[in-house]
A and B are shown apart, each in its own frame.
Chain A
Amino acid sequence: MLSFFKKKEGGTPPATAPSWTQRLRAGLARTRAQIGGTLGGLFGRSRIDEELLEELESTLLMADCGVEATQWLLAELRGRIRRDKLETPAQLRQVLVDLLATLLGPLEQPLDPAGQHPFIMMIAGVNGAGKTTSIGKLAKHFQGRGHSVVLAAGDTFRAAAREQLMEWGRRNDVTVIAQESGDPAAVVFDAIGAARARGIDVVMADTAGRLPTQLHLMEEIAKVRRVVQKAEPGGPHEVLLVLDANIGQNAIAQVKAFDKAIGVTGLVITKLDGTAKGGVLAAIARQCPKPVRFIGVGEGIDDLQPFRAAEFAEALFEEAPAP
């Protein structure tokens, strides 16, 4: 389960199955089938020509990389081809993987709750991005690393959002602080108080889904943040924005809007499995870089995992089918 941490520390390849890399590969099977399917043909060609690059452009666009990031990637590739005198498409593949890994590298900043006590996290996002589900999975993640967790049911708007979080709390055996109704900021304030009283390590505050165009709701969430600050001067220590990987170029607008309102410090990319998309990460890296803390590649409770740029890029352009 934690094999990849072992790997990180000791450098030994994971022995326990299924390893994170394997799961990532399995989860990104579709993306690879999409990109790799065409790329397989592409890189199988005998030489690099204009046609190949054009195909590559289409493929990147179809992976939701967006116009800007695609053009940048292609320009860089062309530069490399000229500079390094690349000849075979197989070389091109390696360069592309490296490029993407370099582009995404700065986004790889794992989240460490150890420094603060309690470590307060706010989770925000548009409707249906998977906020509550991610919180459930994150609670499990932190518990697995020996942190105690309390959840705040800050989604006081959507029907049964509180019950949904309670259910996650029950499954993970985590306390959920909730109120009958009312102000999300108040619920979060309560939860911070409770965490302090009980000596709990991590507070995760759920919030209602909102579209960035709903200004009054954006103001409401800004208030939640201010209240957290009041309850804990250094907080919130982490403001996570949950993004649905299926979403297209609007993802960038979302990152910008939420960043303006609440100062986003990290991203969670959900539903990366089964979609053809990993490319939106490239667009984000180009246009509004924020650390990607976690990515979700499956529906299982362990399928939300820290983001690793090199492995992600490699998995995206893998040639051989997943083991």
Chain B
Amino acid sequence: MLDNLTQRLGRVVKTLRGQARLTEDNIAEMLREIRMALLEADVALPVVKDFISRVRERAVGQEVLSSLSPGQALVGVVHRELTELMGGQSAGINLATQPPAVILMAGLQGAGKTTTTAKLGKWLKERQKKKVLAVSCDVYRPAAIEQLKTVAGQAGIDFFPSETGQKPADIAAAALDHARRHYYDVLFVDTAGRLAIDEAMMAEIQALHAQLDPIECLFVVDAMLGQDAVNTARAFNDALPLTGVILTKLDGDSRGGAALSVRQVTGKPLKFAGVGEKLTGLEEFHPERMASRILGMGDILGLVEEAQRSVDQDKAKEFAQKLKSGKGFDLNDFKDQIAQMRKMGGLGGLLDKLPAQFGALAQQAGGAVEDKAIRRVEGIINSMTPQERSKPELIKASRKRRIATGAGVQVQEVNRLLNQFEQTQKMMKQFSKGGMGKMMRAMKGMMQGMR
């Protein structure tokens, strides 16, 4: 499943080494692989067919640069095409109307409309200093209004109360009136999740749209959606004049082929991407990165961002200070480092994000360093007293025995950890003295030590 497209093409490509040009013949099999890869990434079949014929057109006749294999050249074409398809006109939220600018949120059940409403509200409030009001027209699902009220409170935007007994149209009218009279810049109208084939519900949202005349009508869609994304998107697009799409749950491990399907079918820009449950988890959409993700080529930029997100800035600063001074690096810091790594999804998570070739290399180099071993190290440190953690040299035979029992491991494991720590400490010292070469050697030693 996680087979990387480049790798798969590599297998096919072995037969066409040394061909200088991509031709109809030599790419047929590769195109089949690409088709499979796209299907596995949940891109809808009609979209895949379309896309493949486009790629064929573009690719045939392309010169293969000497530094590239034909497979790489083809992947390049595919990547470019994907990026282009998902890019297009620059997005952003359009608020250029007489306030209040109404934003209508639509989508399937469980797509993430309410959470996205709060995220986007917070974004507009903080980035563009808008006065934002949110109202829920979801009178069907239990506690949906309550949910918007809570998240709106967390996001620091105002909430217009509604009741399950009311009609959505009445709620919307009252909210609009309230927004006008209190000079709100933006009014978010959250709606109930609905299936595109549910005619009564689709009629309701159409009526709501006609009544409110929103400047933005955003389609919220789950990045994990499968083949049906294409039908859903088409139905919503036919029923409502959508102005943009928001992709949610992008922090999952789905390849997100739905993005391409939706974009292709609606022709509407992908404006934002939702990542994580926190209300700050909203990003502008990056077509290039999405293309890499769909192709399973690793998301290095995402990795960097995730590192920034999960690393505690203050702690990092403190740590850098310690590094500079070259002393005071103790087992507490050691443990912090491990915790940081865990937060970023552990070694396994990191390896997954790397492009396949690097990932395989890293596995070879340090593959034995399993997450389990790291957990064990953490356990050992947890069994030490605070004093021992800050002064590891205290730990002698009897303390070692106690720690080993506490962590449920053999004494040898404690010894190994202390050795590793000593090496790391040495490395830190060298680092502070600027002995880069030495450090690299020390690092190699540590890798072996951990094995």
Does residue B322 face the partner (Cβ distance < 8 Å to A)? no
Binary interface profile of A, 155-195, with partner B (CB < 8 Å = 1, else 0)?
A: 00111111110111001000000000000000000000000
Chain A residues whose C-beta falls within 8 Å of the C-beta of B229 in the assembled complex: 246, 248
Least CB distance from A32 to B in Å reads 13
Selected contact of A250 from candidates B148, B195, B224, CB within 8 Å: B224
Residues of B within 8 A of A (CB): 1, 36, 39-42, 44-45, 108-112, 141-144, 146-151, 154, 195-198, 222, 224-229, 231-232, 249, 251-255, 257-258, 276-277, 342-343, 345-346, 349
Chain B residues whose C-beta falls within 8 Å of the C-beta of A93 in the assembled complex: none
Q: List 19 A-B contacts (CB under 8 A).
A: A61-B45, A64-B228, A128-B112, A157-B277, A159-B146, A159-B149, A161-B143, A164-B143, A171-B142, A211-B249, A211-B251, A215-B343, A216-B343, A244-B110, A246-B226, A246-B228, A250-B42, A274-B195, A277-B226
CA distance A160 to B225 in the complex (A): 25
Chain A residues whose C-beta falls within 8 Å of the C-beta of B44 in the assembled complex: 62
Is B142's CB under 8 angstroms from A168's CB? yes
Is B251's CB under 8 angstroms from A214's CB? yes
Chain A residues whose C-beta falls within 8 Å of the C-beta of B228 in the assembled complex: 64, 246, 275-277
Selected contact of A273 from candidates B142, B195, B249, B251, CB within 8 Å: B195
Beyond A62-B227, A159-B150, A253-B1: 12 further Cβ-contacts under 8 Å? A61-B45, A63-B227, A128-B109, A128-B222, A130-B110, A159-B146, A160-B147, A213-B251, A249-B254, A271-B108, A274-B195, A276-B231
Q: A212-B253, A213-B253 are in contact. Are A160 and B277 (CB under 8 A)?
A: no
Total A-B residue pairs with C-beta atoms closer than 8 Å? 154
Selected contact of B277 from candidates A127, A136, A249, A277, CB within 8 Å: A127
Binary interface profile of A, 121-164, with partner B (CB < 8 Å = 1, else 0)?
A: 00000111110010010000000000000000000011111111
Is A66's CB under 8 angstroms from B251's CB? no
Does residue A30 face the partner (Cβ distance < 8 Å to B)? yes
Q: A67-B40, A160-B144 are in contact. Are A246 and B251 (CB under 8 A)?
A: no
CA distance A160 to B115 in the complex (A): 12
Is B109's CB under 8 angstroms from A213's CB? no
Does residue A280 face the partner (Cβ distance < 8 Å to B)? yes
CA distance A267 to B257 in the complex (A): 24
Least CB distance from B271 to A in Å reads 20
Does residue A94 face the partner (Cβ distance < 8 Å to B)? no
Chain A residues whose C-beta falls within 8 Å of the C-beta of B232 in the assembled complex: 246, 275
Q: Which of B45, B143, B228, B249 gathers the greatest number of chain A CB atoms within 10 Å?
A: B228
Binary interface profile of A, 49-67, with partner B (CB < 8 Å = 1, else 0)?
A: 0000000001001111011
Chain B residues whose C-beta falls within 8 Å of the C-beta of A247 in the assembled complex: 222, 224-226, 254
Is A164's CB under 8 angstroms from B277's CB? no
Is A127's CB under 8 angstroms from B253's CB? no
Nearest CB in chain A to that of B145: its residue: A160
Q: A63-B227, A246-B108, A250-B224 are in contact. Are A211 and B252 (CB under 8 A)?
A: yes
Chain B residues whose C-beta falls within 8 Å of the C-beta of A244 in the assembled complex: 110, 222, 224
CA distance A244 to B195 in the complex (A): 13
Is B198's CB under 8 angstroms from A250's CB? no
CA distance A48 to B252 in the complex (A): 42
Is A167's CB under 8 angstroms from B110's CB? no
Is A246's CB under 8 angstroms from B225's CB? yes
CA distance A165 to B40 in the complex (A): 35
Chain A residues whose C-beta falls within 8 Å of the C-beta of B227 in the assembled complex: 61-64, 248, 276-277, 279
Is B225's CB under 8 angstroms from A130's CB? no
CA distance A216 to B254 in the complex (A): 18
Does residue A252 face the partner (Cβ distance < 8 Å to B)? yes
CA distance A213 to B281 in the complex (A): 15
Selected contact of B346 from candidates A58, A162, A215, A253, CB within 8 Å: A215
Nearest CB in chain B to that of A252: its residue: B1
Q: Which of A63, A162, A257, A275 gathers the greatest number of chain B CB atoms within 10 Å?
A: A275
Chain A, 236-262, CB within 8 A of any chain B CB? 244, 246-253, 257
Least CB distance from B174 to A in Å reads 21
Least CB distance from A247 to B in Å reads 5
CA distance A98 to B45 in the complex (A): 25
Chain B residues whose C-beta falls within 8 Å of the C-beta of A273 in the assembled complex: 195
Chain B residues whose C-beta falls within 8 Å of the C-beta of A128 in the assembled complex: 109-112, 222, 249
Q: A164-B143, A213-B349 are in contact. Are A274 and B45 (CB under 8 A)?
A: no
Least CB distance from A172 to B in Å reads 12
CA distance A193 to B148 in the complex (A): 33
Chain B residues whose C-beta falls within 8 Å of the C-beta of A276 in the assembled complex: 227-228, 231
Nearest CB in chain B to that of A64: its residue: B226
Least CB distance from B145 to A in Å reads 8
CA distance A247 to B195 in the complex (A): 14
Chain A residues whose C-beta falls within 8 Å of the C-beta of B257 in the assembled complex: 248
Least CB distance from A218 to B in Å reads 10
